[in-house]
Structure 1
């Protein structure tokens, strides 16, 4: 990794790693980040401030990467919203199905009682 140092925080699992700039004096800015459903940061993209590499040929690539990351972030957010909406729908339907199941049992029990009364009468 050119210009970056991987750091694994001691309090986190070894699978989680942070990538920090090798030269901390350079000015870095956060371009985009994503959070999981509990609000924890799961992905952060940092890059040198644009003024530091405005003449660099890689600036265009960096901008394209930024656009891709932002598009992916938006896609993830849309999918999360859809998933939440779908989950709410499923939970609502589950409650309705339980209610129907209870009513069906009551009808079935009433039917059995009516049949029993007919045979006794």
Structure 2
């Protein structure tokens, strides 16, 4: 990942996730030759979300997003997926920190209720 807007955006998202629930654990999953660093995955009692960087966006995919309340409308991608929902952040996008952290906490609560 180059040191550009994507790096800063991914780092900010990572900080917000870990601040939302200090017991969330981050680990790299799904390592492969084309992605030796793997996918940053945030879990607490199951996967909460993943953080991926693409050429044109940073994508935060919530594993059980389709079953989460999102009153602030943070989800803007994978809206037709059966289970997941995602947040795509493009250059210049501002992530609503308070609403995003509330969504992370709802995802943790859903995992703990399962």
TM-score, normalising length: structure 2? 0.29
Q: Give the number of the structure whose alpha-carbon radius of gyration is greater.
A: 1
TM-score, normalising length: structure 1? 0.27
More helix as a share of residues: 1
Question: Taking CA–CA contacts closer than 8 Å with sequence separation of 6 or more, which of the two structures ends up with the larger relative contact order?
Answer: 2
